[in-house]
Chains A and B, each alone.
Chain A
Amino acid sequence: AQSVTQPDIHITVSEGASLELRCNYSYGATPYLFWYVQSPGQGLQLLLKYFSGDTLVQGIKGFEAEFKRSQSSFNLRKPSVHWSDAAEYFCAVDPGTASKLTFGTGTRLQVTL
């Protein structure tokens, strides 16, 4: 069965600092890969997705992610974090056959001023 691991439960960064959130997946083939953000009291918002092709994908709000097949990873990055980025971030995979998402446990990002 496919699975998603987000090893960092909670991360704190200073505003303006760079950010990297880790995601590893376990699946036989390369699935579709996603990053979502969830602010308190809000639903999930799609930040970016990877299906195939260029392994560096750009998303909304200045986020990017890099797919590394050899490491089964899809890490999320942002060069300079803003206080409004404080939220919970979820990595998710979809085998691509039935539009069903499997989510990681999430990483809570705290931004200090």
Chain B
Amino acid sequence: EAGVAQSPRYKIIEKRQSVAFWCNPISGHATLYWYQQILGQGPKLLIQFQNNGVVDDSQLPKDRFSAERLKGVDSTLKIQPAKLEDSAVYLCASSKGLIVAGYNEQFFGPGTRLTVL
């Protein structure tokens, strides 16, 4: 079974530019997560989707960050415009079941390392 795929793996941009990250979850997984991991910190949840609906985006900086999960499969996270403090690794994870069904193990992709200059 293929794991969670993310691209690109690395991205370097200048501040005020825009950038997009792509995630393809494990086939059949209903729930998808985006995390931001700043150097020296643990991952922080940005947004959680169940199928193509947003469950929680309370920690997403909505003035510059946006995310979508069209058709309930793959997802895109966008930053526009980027700031220096957005330099981080962006991790995508997916889990199989629906949230109401209880705990579902999250499987993580390798991440996209973003450097904003």
8 Å CB contacts to A: which residues of B1-26?
3-4
Closest chain B residue, CB of each to CB of A32 = B103
Q: Decide: A98 and B111 in contact? CB cutoff 8 A.
A: no
Count, chain A residues at interface, CB 8 A? 24
Query: Which of B3, B43, B95 has the most chain A CB within a 10 Å cutoff?
Result: B43
| A25 proximal to B (CB < 8 A) | no
Q: Decide: A46 and B105 in contact? CB cutoff 8 A.
A: yes
Known A92-B42, A105-B42: A43·B108 in contact at CB below 8 Å: yes
* Shortest distance between the CB of A41 and any CB in chain B (Å): 7
Count, chain B residues at interface, CB 8 A? 26
Q: Which of A44, A51, A102, A103 contacts B103 (CB 8 A)?
A: A51
Query: Which of A45, A100, A102, A104 has the most chain B CB within a 10 Å cutoff?
Result: A100
In whole angstroms, what is the CA distance A26 to B1 when docked? 36
In whole angstroms, what is the CA distance A102 to B45 when docked? 8
* Shortest distance between the CB of B96 and any CB in chain A (Å): 11
In the complex, which residues of chain B have a beta carbon less than 8 angstroms from the beta carbon of A51?
103
Q: Decide: B42 and A103 in contact? CB cutoff 8 A.
A: yes
Q: Decide: B103 and A90 in contact? CB cutoff 8 A.
A: no
| B87 proximal to A (CB < 8 A) | no
| B104 proximal to A (CB < 8 A) | yes
In the complex, which residues of chain B have a beta carbon less than 8 angstroms from the beta carbon of A101?
43, 45, 106
In whole angstroms, what is the CA distance A25 to B89 when docked? 24
Known A99-B95, A101-B45, A106-B42: A41·B110 in contact at CB below 8 Å: yes
Q: What is the interface of chain A, defined by CB distance below 8 A to chain B?
A: 4, 32, 36, 41-46, 49, 51, 90, 92, 94, 96, 98-106
Those 6 A-B pairs whose CB atoms lie nearest each other, nearest first: A103-B42, A43-B108, A44-B108, A43-B110, A103-B43, A43-B109
